[in-house]
Structure 1
Amino acid sequence: MGYPNLQDNKITILVVPFPAQGHLNQLLHFSLLLSSHGFPVHFASSSIHNHQARYRLRGWTSTSLHNITFHDIPIPSLPPSTPNPNSTHSFPSHLVPVWEFVIHHLRSPICSLLHSLSSSSPLILVHDPVMSFVSDDAFSIPSIHTFKFQCVPANFILSYLDESTSKTYSDNHILFSPLPDIVPEEVWTFTKKYCYETSSEGMLFNTSRTIDGHFIDLLAKEDGFVGKKIFAVGPVSPLTVTDYKSGPRHPCLEWLDKQPLKSVVYVAFGSTTTMSDQQIKEIALGLEKSKQRFIWVIREADRGDISKEGELTREKSLLLDFDKRVEGMGMVVRGWAPQLDILAHGSTAAFMSHCGWNSCMEGMSMGVAMLTWPIHSDQPSNALLITDYLKVGVIVREWDKRDEVLKWEKVDEAIRKVMVDKEGLEIRRRAKDLGEKIRDSIEGGSSYEQLLAFINYISGFK
């Protein structure tokens, strides 16, 4: 089974991501995947966020980005966006004004781009659901075919189709109903304004049927989804990691090279999490007491423009002697770290994560056990999927304890459960098996077939 010959195919693809790291990353990976199969792919966002997406990309060859046409839309200086470690909720609300500002300045240029790219050939528009205005603007142009790219799994979408009714969707009676307080009210207002139902021919999921097949089948039967084309094409990130950056490797990878196989816990909470001072101290103590090897990425949530991030003075002042105390056992990375490289490394055994879907897919694809610490949005639901449904991880912090500082004993307990206890051996075995099944789905299995189905489908447009 192969891909159609695209040399004479004049179809063009335009990808429009939402300007947040977890969304930019997934859609850029998918863009590179499509370009590797011969499609001309355009990627449109602000110049600031296109730079962010390119700068943080991991796993592809140095020439891969040359196959993408980036539309770096200039915008005025962004509004201030400093994360608050003492916020009453954990969602990065400091970014909401930035997102509003960026979307406002992107709409007109992207509308012009839609007309330009669709003037001489069919255009496939792939957009983040939060950028629904793009679909509205494309609706009146007959040569454009629109698809939504979902950066969350199907079970999360299912849980919000009917918020008044709790639904048991899984065979083993796990309840995937809406969880309380996943985002503050101001964020719901933003989401309803920019993420709404629009006309589209279908949707793409960064997931594998190995993980999400049961829920995708259920979703396909729901109102608004019947008759839609649904393609589960994930993971869209590479399974074999290539050194994208030139120059020396990140020091944490050099450190990993010296550790025994499957001996290291990787700890990172994503690009939208800011921990309180007290919580950082408790995590540090838990890692130290566990006596297990670790890499811990300490950073605040992104600002709107990552090139203007602070010097991490707070993180340094909180852990003045920690590096010395754990020397030889652990490594602290202050700032950005090459997550995909770390997860792909043979020394990495487990991943303590906020459970953003991008991180979940990367961790599960690499066959590492997950230690779940959900912070906001789809993350609590993703954590349930990992621990209760797939059974490839353990809970570090339960969602009903979200307003409490988690004590070091709980951090220590979760790490030991995975890395030391007999129960952990079985969890790690299941995680390894799941990783192999996900890899098989890409290498000729269901995800390969779903990508092929999408390519064949859009190649039929003339």
Structure 2
Amino acid sequence: MDGSSNCNSDPNPAHIILIPFMAQGHMIPMVDVARLLASSGALVTFITTPVNAARIRPSIDSIENSQRLPVRFVQLPFHSADVGLPAGCENVDLISSPDLFKPFMKALSLFGEQVKLYLTATNPTADCIIFDSMNSWVGAVAESLNIPHIIFHGPSCFYILCAHLLKKHQVLKRIDDDYKLFKVPELPEPVEVMKAQVMSLKDRPEWEKESEEIYKTEKSACGVVMNTFEELEKSSLDKFRKEIGKKVWPIGPLSLANKDLDSKAMRGKASSIDTGLLLSWLDSKAPNSVMFVSFGSLSRNPISQLVQIGQGLESASSSELSFIWVVKEAENSEEVENWLSEFEERTKGMGMVIRGWAPQAMILGHVALGGFMTHCGWNSTFEAIAAGVVMATWPRFGDQFVNERLVVDVLRIGVAVGAKVPIFYVDEMSGEGLVKGEEVRKVVEKVMTIDEEGEERRKRAKELREKARKAMEEGGSSFENLKRVIQFAKGEKKAIGMKL
């Protein structure tokens, strides 16, 4: 979707405020939303904090300097110390212990006061706010200033619908066994899940107050923007629209907003590896011969699990397969680094290890990629769908187990590694919950082998890739929905003004 040529053609463009939740997996798609809205004729203000702005600096520089899009990145102070957080703790992945998550959410609500002051004085006035559903405080701020507000849901519609139906039917309160499989009621494509797999923070008694605030804000919103597209999740989208009785605009895959190689390489944060070196290595590999292994920005494996993954990759690589493995755990662990150095020596020529942040969208788009072992976070899953890459699914927590069911059971473009419980349930001492190296090897070979079953998976993945691209092109479903969001923003603000 490229509207940069006409981004300044409207003399009175809609002014849309974007407020992401401060977690890397939430920031990344919201930056893409900014890029797309600005390319399609809107004036965009992206509100964040100094630490988060520094993290997405490559994307900011690209939008402001290379593409020259009308996006204003506004940095407002985040008062970490006022709630007992360490200085600079402005992102979820900087939270050092679980007991600091509530203070972080408190700091977010205080951040709302800064946002309100800014919006009161901003010029031109805001026509609409699009905000992450986790930022429940936005609803009260928007209503106090008579600004229409739209929720942005980062996860798949399949997951959002599942969560809605589980709450509607009070399913989790009626199930005592965390490990018993059950079907989600009313789901268009029935799948089985466990309570342990779908229980989120919002479902826990100690988070009841915060949960009610989130649900209250969702009800007050004018509509919902989602990172998906009509042709991918039609039945879920249709059902979700009926359930909430609001406008729902799917505008994805948002990752396809990054068209050139540099934009793909810097999606999220600056890469931890020289992209020229990485591309040269990939170019040397045969098509569909490389397995990419990465588990997202928040998930961390204990060293016992890393060893098992390494054993699986090493034994699978002996059958002419190559791999790229992102090991963020090496950044802060001497023990991991020592083991990893030995592993690299043994697999020299077969694999590449990236310590830290990887240019994932760029890697997934390379012709050498044959498979992606993923934690099933929606950003990663959807990047793979947009690139037409088959997946080995290894969910950890949150929406990831439901996304696995979508990939494996509904879309049928993935193979489950075999993880049954969230990573919090894994006992490193006893080994309970660990996925063994032999299981890793088997799923890698199953995904990468081109037999009849594998060929069908690849065919379906390529078909979805083409549908994704068409959705984002002029006249496509996501292209048209994006225009509708902008039109709605302008019209809704006028409607509110007429009522006052």
TM-score by length of structure 1 reads: 0.86
Q: 1:455 to 1:266 in 2, by over 3 A?
A: same
Deviation at 1:147, TM superposition (A): 0.4
1:405-420 correspondence to structure 2 within 5 Å: 405-420=434-449
- Deviation string 1:258-288 (CA, Å, 9 cap, x unpaired) is 1112211110000010101100000000000
Give 1:364's match in structure 2, choosing from 376, 385, 408. 385
Distance 1:120 1:442, change over 3 A: closer
Out of 184-193 and 452-461, give the one that drifted further: 184-193
CA contact (8 A) 1:13 1:41 kept: yes
Is it true that 1:275 corresponds to 2:275 in the alignment?
A: no
Q: Name 1:445's counterpart in structure 2.
A: 476
Q: Which residue of 2 aligns with 1:324?
A: 345
CA shift in 2, pair 1:92/1:400, >3 Å: same
1:130 aligns with 2:151: no
* Runs of 5+ consecutive residues of structure 1 not aligned to the other structure: 82-90, 301-308
Displacement of 1:320 after TM fit?
2.9
Question: For residues 324 and 118 of structure 2, what CA distance do their matches in structure 1 show?
Answer: 43
Deviations 1:315-367 (A, max 9, x none): 31232311111111110001111111111112112111001111111110010
- Name which of 220, 240, 256 aligns with 2:259: 240
- The one-letter code matched in structure 1 to 2:378 is W
More helix by share: 2
CA distance in structure 1 between the aligned counterparts of 2:119 and 2:63, rounded to whole angstroms: 28
Deviation at 1:384, TM superposition (A): 0.4
**After the TM superposition, which of the residue ranges 194-203 and 334-343 deviates more from structure 2?**
194-203
**Structure 2 residue matching 1:320: 3-state secondary structure:** helix
Query: How big is the shift at 1:122?
Result: 4.6
The worse-fitting range, judged by mean Cα deviation, of 173-182 and 424-433 is: 173-182
Is 2:334 aligned against 1:313?
yes
How many residue pairs get aligned? The number is 442
Contact in 1 for aligned 2:79/2:107 (Cα 8 Å): no
Instruction: Identify the range of structure 1 (103-112 vs 213-222) with the bigger mean alpha-carbon deviation.
Output: 103-112
Report Cα offsets for 1:404-444 as digits up to 9, x if no partner.
11000111111111111512222122111111111111113
Amino acid aligned to 2:51: I
Question: Residue 87 of structure 1 aligns with which residue?
Answer: none
1:431 match: 461
Question: Which residue of 100, 104, 109 maps to 1:99?
Answer: 104
The answer on 1:149 being equivalent to 2:179 is no
Distance (Å, rounded) in 1 between the aligned partners of 2:335 and 2:488 = 51
**Residues in 1 aligned to 2:125 and 2:386: alpha-carbon distance in whole angstroms:** 36
Tell whether the 8 Å contact from 1:159 to 1:177 is kept in structure 2 after alignment: no
Alignment of 1:250-289 (within 5 A): 251-289=277-315
CA 1:98–1:437 in structure 2 vs 1: closer, same or farther (change >3 Å)? farther
In the alignment, residue 286 of structure 1 is paired with which amino acid? G
Question: Match for 1:49 among 49, 52, 56?
Answer: 52
Shift of 1:123: 2.0
Of the three residues 106, 109, 112, the one matched with 2:114 is: 109
Match of 2:215 among 190, 193, 196: 196
58 and 366 in structure 1: CA distance in 2 versus 1, 3 angstrom threshold: farther
Q: Say which SS state the counterpart of residue 127 (structure 1) adopts.
A: strand
Q: Contact 1:45–1:73 at 8 Å: present in 2 too? A: yes
Q: 1:56 to 1:154 in 2, by over 3 A?
A: same
Paired with 2:276 and 2:213, the residues of 1 have a C-alpha distance of: 37
**Is 94-103 or 22-31 further displaced after alignment?**
94-103
Give me the whole-angstrom Cα distance separating, in 1, the residues matched to 2:231 and 2:143.
34
Aligned to 2:429: none
The residue aligned with 2:498 is: none
Please identify, of 334-343 and 97-106, the stretch whose mean Cα deviation from structure 2 is larger: 97-106
Report the residue type matching 1:146 in the other structure. Answer: H
Distance in 2, matches of 1:273 and 1:187, equals 23
Q: Indicate how the Cα distance of structure 1 residues 230 and 384 shifts in structure 2: closer, same or farther if over 3 A, else same.
A: same
- Cα distance in 2 for residues equivalent to 1:59 and 1:342: 20
Distance 1:369 1:59 in 2: 30
Describe the SS at the equivalent of 2:397.
Answer: coil
Q: How does 1:311-390 map to 2 (within 5 A)?
A: 311-390=332-411
SS of 1:319's equivalent in the other structure is helix
- Out of 15, 18, 23, the residue aligned to residue 15 of structure 1 is 18
Q: Which moved more, 1:202-211 or 1:393-402?
A: 393-402
Q: CA deviation at 1:451?
A: 1.5
- The residue number in structure 2 matching 1:206 is 227
SS of aligned partner of 1:260:
coil
| Contact preservation (8 Å) 2:158, 2:233 | yes
Measured after TM superposition, the shift of residue 453 of structure 1 is: 2.0
> 2: distance between equivalents of 1:58 and 1:97?
33
Equivalent AA in structure 1 for residue 300 of structure 2: T
Deviates more, 1:92-101 or 1:318-327: 92-101
**Secondary structure in structure 1 of the residue aligned to 2:224:** strand
Once residues 312 and 212 of structure 2 are traced to their aligned partners in structure 1, the CA distance between those partners, rounded to angstroms, is 41
Q: Is the 8 A contact 1:396 1:410 kept in 2?
A: yes
Q: Match for residue 92 of structure 2?
A: none
